[in-house]
Amino acid sequence: MKSAIITGASCGLGEEYLKQVIQQMPEIEEIWLIARRQEKLEMLASRFPDRCIRCLPLDLTDAESFDIYQKELETAQPDIVLLINNAGCGKLGLLADAAFAEQAGMVDLNCRALTAITVLSLPYMQRGAGILNVSSIASYAPTPRMTVYCATKSYVSAFSKSLHEELRPRGITVLTACPGPMATGFLEAANIIGRSRTFETLPYCHPERVARKSLSRLRRGKTWYTDRGFYKLYRVLGKLLPHSLVMKFSKT
Ligand SMILES: NC(=O)c1ccc[n+]([C@@H]2O[C@H](COP(=O)([O-])OP(=O)(O)OC[C@H]3O[C@@H](n4cnc5c(N)ncnc54)[C@H](OP(=O)(O)O)[C@@H]3O)[C@@H](O)[C@H]2O)c1
């Protein structure tokens, strides 16, 4: 069955990806939604009764979830035409003040889970399939006060570029999506609201637009999506200028 997998699908950008998959890809016969909150996933799925949607309530920081996912794949034998690795989290604050478990959890979700879900899904992907990995503008230059977060997103961007080259002979495209700040649950979970002048002054990206444009670019065979001209410029500056200088502005 032609299938799409979306992680972090219970709200925010992941919810927008579900809507875009439904609108842009009528050929998809089944959509798998992954996140921790089962009731949120089921409520979302119930809004699209004419589509076949399967909810997998999994905590992707728990290694047991990867065994469950693998078994689900072995049983269903899906033809994965689209994998969206969207689940992610951040934390604002100085590393020296942070709890280890919180920082390690960020690495587990943003890097380890994305890697695991990709590796486990690849045997079920054929020529023409696509992988969309949600990174961030935080991958363009180091971001003090979000040190681990920006490092995890640098991982996502480097992983995605390299994987695209590896998968080129198999005809599988990998797109890296790099949104700037979005008004989603991410901000509260990351403890950003009211605690960062940078976040208060930066232009915001709209999750619907990020999902729509990044998915449509992937379907046209493109490998990168940065939302808004402001962040396209930031990407160029992050490449041209010394990071010691960029960090004076990127500090959150
Ligand atoms: N919002 C921003 O400012 C911003 C900017 C740049 C990039 N991004 C990236 O965009 C992506 C989506 O974030 P968002 O803004 O939509 O944030 P969000 O509203 O907080 O959504 C995060 C999603 O990830 C899921 N999730 C969190 N922890 C999980 C876990 N341990 N296991 C499985 N699923 C988990 C959440 O569902 P449950 O809670 O139900 O598990 C939710 O569906 C992330 O990769 C984020 O890093 C966000």
For residue 88, the CA-to-ligand 1 centroid distance in Å is 4
Q: What is the mean pLDDT of the chain?
A: 98
This prediction has a pTM of 0.98
Q: Which residues, other chains included, contact 185 with Cβ-Cβ below 8 Å and sequence gap of 6+?
A: 11, 12
Output the pLDDT for position 136.
Answer: 98
Q: Per residue in 50-84, pLDDT tens?
A: 999 999 999 999 999 999 999 999 999 999 999 99
- How much is the average pLDDT of 181-207? 96
Nearest CA to ligand 1 atom 21: 12
Q: What is the C-alpha separation between 148 and 90, in angstroms, rounded?
A: 8
Output the pLDDT for position 251.
Answer: 86
**What single letter denotes the amino acid at residue 241?**
L
Alpha helices in 47-131 (DSSP H): 64-76, 100-107, 114-121
Q: Per residue in 16-32, pLDDT tens?
A: 999 999 999 999 999 99
CB of residue 163 inside a 6 A radius of ligand 1: no
Nearest CA to ligand 1 atom 1: 182
Nearest atom, ligand 1, residue 137 CA: 6
For residue 25, the CA-to-ligand 1 centroid distance in Å is 23
CATH of the domain at 83: 3.40.50.720
Decide if pLDDT at 5 tops 90.
yes
Tell me phi and psi for residue 33, to 5 degrees: -110, 130
Output the pLDDT for position 234.
Answer: 97
Distance of CA 221 to CAs 11, 22, 122, 171, 200, Å? 27, 19, 18, 10, 35
Output the pLDDT for position 249.
Answer: 87
Q: Per residue in 75-106, pLDDT tens?
A: 999 999 999 999 999 999 999 999 999 999 99
- How much is the average pLDDT of 217-241? 97
Residue 58 DSSP symbol? -
Cβ contact 127:171 at 8 Å: yes
Q: How many domains are there within the chain?
A: 1
Q: Tell me the residue range of the domain where 219 lies.
A: 2-250
Cβ contact 227:209 at 8 Å: yes
- Ligand 1 pocket test, candidate residues 42, 89, 192, 215, most atoms within 8 A of CB: 89
Cβ contact 2:79 at 8 Å: yes
Decide if pLDDT at 239 tops 90.
yes
Q: Per residue in 138-170, pLDDT tens?
A: 999 999 999 999 999 999 999 999 999 999 999
